[in-house]
Amino acid sequence: MSILCQTTARQENQAAGLLRIATLPGHRGYGSVIHYRGFLVIQTVSTTPFNDQKPGTSGLRKKVKIFQQPRYAENFIQSVFDSLDGFAGQTLVLGGDGRYLNREVIQIAMKMAAANGFGRVLVGQGGILSTPAASNLIRKAGAFGGLVLSASHNPGGPDEDFGIKYNVSNGGPAPEKVTDAIHARTLEIDSYRIIDAPDVDLDSIGISQLGDMTVEVVDPVALYAELMESLFDFPAIKALIAGGFTLSFDSMSAVTGPYATEIFEKRLGAPAGTVQNGTPLPDFGHHHPDPNLVHAKQLYDRMMASDAPDFGAASDGDGDRNLIIGRHSYVTPSDSLAVLAANAHLAPGYAAGLKGIARSMPTSGAADRVAEKLGIPLYETPTGWKFFGNLLDAGMATICGEESAGTGSDHVREKDGIWAVLLWLNILAVRKQSVVDIMAEHWATYGRNYYARHDYEAIAKDKADALMAALRDKLTTLPGMVNSGGTIKAADDFAYTDPTDQSVSKNQGVRVLFEDGSRVVMRLSGTGTEGATLRVYIERYMGVDGDLGLETGDALAPLIAAAQEVADIAGYTGMDKPSVIT
């Protein structure tokens, strides 16, 4: 049996007369050292690395059964702590989206935080904290950082997905230098620290102790709702609703239910029942909590009916994504970002104007034209909200967005689903127009970016990697080629130099650019837990004098064919059509 002990810790505790060491059998062949410090019992448990704990764009995501392996969650959490400096006595924020395994891992994380020297943990009641609410709490509390337990829009349940993400002190996802350090530590970790203590009561708001560490169970909604009320004209929105404006919000049995009920029904006066699927469930009620036209079809059908509400919206598993649908009018995430940026000045929190707009590279260029008209910078970044953090902290951007249904601003350092819905409601309350009319006026002013994303899911990783490798190999030969999409003007593999710190991120997605301004982008997603997902982004711009009323599929048909011709998607994947089109 392996017995581990740090000599310096032994010497310090022996000098204080507080340490007795006992060895106990470790589970499945692993041993531990027990430190008794007063009533605090710290175990240093020997372990061996797992080779699959590399964080993706939003932390570590795996199937629940993988996280349930002995030492798996503990190894990753300890690797996070081992990669940080200066947190002794500091505050850690902790919470998640309520999915299966959320409560169990929260208890582990709290006990490990106490053993590793944190002074305080703030945890959402019931273990609940939406991702934007966690970001806000980190910022408001001056916390050292936070652990957000979520797999975002991925399904939940005993056979589905779980995830852990570390957020830094600005409230945003850990930058690459931190996640790289975490990954390196996961490959060499040999022990983790945890205290032996009863579980904390997560359902009662109040303060308790885990050894020397204070645990404060907080209302997960109140502070976030107050932030929203400070940004938007709640009286105007309330008057809009009181005047007969109807809305429907689908929380998809995920984390935003309590937030939406408090804000839309209690503070803004929407009728009871406005919030659908409002109780967070560990398996999301067997929903796939991804707010797109496939998984939120119930909402889409409601909004396309003859008696549809004026406005419909949905959010995802952890509350950071959104779906916007007006009566008989679906709004793409890229168009939503552009409309929000063009009209943000109508909300009190943004009346002074925007400092800049940032979008991920695969997001359509609709926001670029808004930035140009406003005379402000437009930043094109890789996919992943963490790339926006530096721009927001530097005061270079105010509103950010991704085509994957994430929009947000400098109020937190995460994308924020309810924030996007409230800004839309604020715009509707001031302009007193329908979503259809607002979109028509926007396209008449800026032109229209016809846009779609085709996802090919659960591809064998070797086949997905081979497709991308072959595509990259032919980049230099593509310019000048003519195919169904027209003449290819340029092709590259997107690289980004952060303007705030000059850090470089390479291989962020292959871009095929056509002479008429159209483009096809292909990249592998980092958010899945099974196989690989190929995302194909297809965009065609039509100026104000062009046909702005085409069906999206018709407008993009030549480019869809061009993507197949360039990359031989069917040949590599065996799939003749995408799994999901959004």
Same domain? 193 vs 55: yes
Residue 16 has pLDDT above 70, yes or no: no
Residue 24 pLDDT: 34
Same domain? 536 vs 505: yes
Q: What is the band of 23 on the pLDDT scale with cuts at 50, 70, 90?
A: very low
Domain of residue 402: give its range.
223-446
Same domain? 504 vs 358: no
Whether residue 471 lies inside any domain: the answer is yes
Query: How far is Cα of residue 184 from the mean position of the Cα atoms in its chain?
Result: 23
Whether 253 sits among the annotated catalytic residues: the reply is no
Residue of 152, 251, 334, 336 with catalytic role:
152
Whether residue 331 lies inside any domain: the answer is yes
Whether residue 170 lies inside any domain: the answer is yes
Whether residue 16 lies inside any domain: the answer is no
Residue 136 pLDDT: 98
Residue-wise pLDDT tens digits, 268-278 = 999 999 999 99
* DSSP letter for each residue of 287-317: -----STTTTHHHHHHHHSTT--SEEEEE-T
Three-state secondary structure along 316-353? CCCCCCEEEEECCEEECHHHHHHHHHHHHHHCHHHCCC
Same domain? 191 vs 238: no
Same domain? 75 vs 101: yes
Out of 446, 479, 499, a domain closes at 446
Whether residue 88 lies inside any domain: the answer is yes
Same domain? 276 vs 143: no
Same domain? 442 vs 513: no
Out of 182, 199, 220, a domain closes at 220
The CATH number linked to 562 is: 3.30.310.50
Element (H, E) at 522: strand 519-524
Same domain? 158 vs 180: yes
Same domain? 265 vs 194: no
Q: Among all chains, which residue has been given the structure tokens 């984390």? A: 255
Residue 462 has pLDDT above 50, yes or no: yes
Residue 32 pLDDT: 63
The CATH number linked to 63 is: 3.40.120.10
Same domain? 72 vs 208: yes
Residue 58 pLDDT: 83
The percentage of residues in the chain with a pLDDT greater than 70, rounded to a whole number, is 92
Instruction: Specify burial of residue 219 (Cβ count, 10 A radius: 0-12, 13-18, 19+).
Output: middle
Whether residue 537 lies inside any domain: the answer is yes
Counted domains in the chain: 3
448-464 core/surface letters (b: 16 or more CB in 10 A; e: else):
bbbbbbbbbbebeeebb
Same domain? 270 vs 373: yes
The amino acid occupying position 433 is Q
Residue 41 pLDDT: 86
Instruction: Quote the CA–CA distance of 474 and 495 in Å, as a whole number.
Output: 17
Whether residue 27 lies inside any domain: the answer is no
Out of 186, 220, 254, a domain closes at 220
Angle between helices 366-374 and 333-343 (to 10 degrees): 10
pTM of full prediction above 0.75: yes
CA dihedral of 556, 562, 566, 570, whole degrees rounded to 10: 80
Same domain? 453 vs 431: no
Whether residue 228 lies inside any domain: the answer is yes
